[in-house]
A and B are shown apart, each in its own frame.
Chain A
Amino acid sequence: MTDYTVELNNLIKFFGRRLIFNGINFSFSSRNVYGISGPNGSGKSTLVKIIADLISPTGGKVVHKYGERTIEPEDLHNYIGFVSPYLFLYDEFTAEENLIHSANIRGIKFNKERSDYLLGELNLFDRRKDLVRGYSSGMKQRLKFIFALLHEPQLIILDEPTSNLDNSGKEIVYKIIKEESIKNLIVIASNEDSDLHLCTEVIELEKFKKQTNK
């Protein structure tokens, strides 16, 4: 089984003059669940966005490796599954259409079998042909998991994975996290104790607030 690793090398992020974090050095590897925690505004979402190459750090770099091969930024999206409250799917499409379009845009064949399996696992199979516009926030959150897992990514980033979910939704998500962690790398940004309970190691972002001369 090929290992997926992510190395954070001296990451620094400023928003304007405000320091978010400074000097994060860390290494993530497959078959582990890592947590990122910290109070509101500590930069949890910012850090996961930087890991997913959605935004750039002010300093330092993130290196993604699949086996020995370093992944180029333009290919990174094929290896990452991302779930977050600020990720939105297309309201004017049905759940299934969203998944078909996402597979086509990725340039992979739509795997109906996997899609149906995930829709079933997350209790959305019966609503797969309904427009996302009519979904509740919890259903949208569950659909985001299917969107993130459909292409079988090696790195799964979950920013507040259980937001908007009821207890049964949370149980399903925890089951999926445990299953996926057998072969993949999972990073969870959250403050929920129950989410962080699943993690083998947790990064406390408050420790990286120290300002150095920039």
Chain B
Amino acid sequence: MPDGERQPAASPEFDSVAETPAGRVRPGSPAGGSSLRRYKLYFLLPGLIVLLLIILFPLLFTIRVSFSSWSSSAPGLDWIAAKNYERLLADARYWESLVRLAMLAAGTVLIEYVLGFGLALLVWREVRAKRFFRVLFLVPMMTTPVIMTVIWRTIFHESLGPANEVMALFGLPAQAWLTSSSAAVIAVMVVEIWQWTPFMLLLLLAGLLSLPKEPFLAAAIDGAGPIRTFFRVTFPLMGPISVGAIIIRLIEASKIMETVYVLTSGGPGTATETSSFYIYIRGLRDFQIGYAASLSFAYLVMMIVSMTFIAKALNRALVGRRA
């Protein structure tokens, strides 16, 4: 390409650009700063437009659908104003599923965090077969959730599954894993914890490996034992990573679907019915597309709001002033 073509001097937007002898923009100058911003914008614009379309279009379409009565018997985008949202407010099953989800997500993520942290600490230091254990602990996360839930359903099968046989070996009574409300909730939590603790382990291990060595050396010189070192050095330093890991898992856990679908179908009764599963029932089983869209959008808004508050609270609790 000829040099003349590369110099856009004739273009009005380049008039104010301070140029170096080589014809390049000098970032330090005020004029160069504003034009650099414009340059950046031009380069980012195509990607931004695509990204916005990908993110925004489905969201805007969902909002539009939520104001329609689209269902198996009424196809299409009619306009019913806020009727779906009025119905949502009176839908006790939806709100109950949200409360259930909140408890389930909080419970599983807390346990995953504790277990994940413990396992990360185990394989952080020099232990024999460290690599083997690191891979082993990650195996559950690499399996297919639906298939593994089918396996877990077999394990929990009350007459054919091994769970009750194992309990019998220890003299414990057989449990109605999938037919008692409380046991079914525990069963769902067990599967979730088994599957996703490795994810927590992965993030926390990465965090541990990235910690600076100096604070630990200082603690050792000061004579701090392992417990004191953990609570005074390791845990505080891991604060920001812990917040990130917990938030990511909370977002994922709040979408819990496959486990409930395969393991309990939301039962017994509605004991394990979570918001995602309820929205799935309304949207894809009942084919109430309009109503399911309103449930989804309301759920999204509540998730954004609650996650914002949770993130702030966690930051304050685990990171403190350093946040």
Chains A and B are bound partners: no
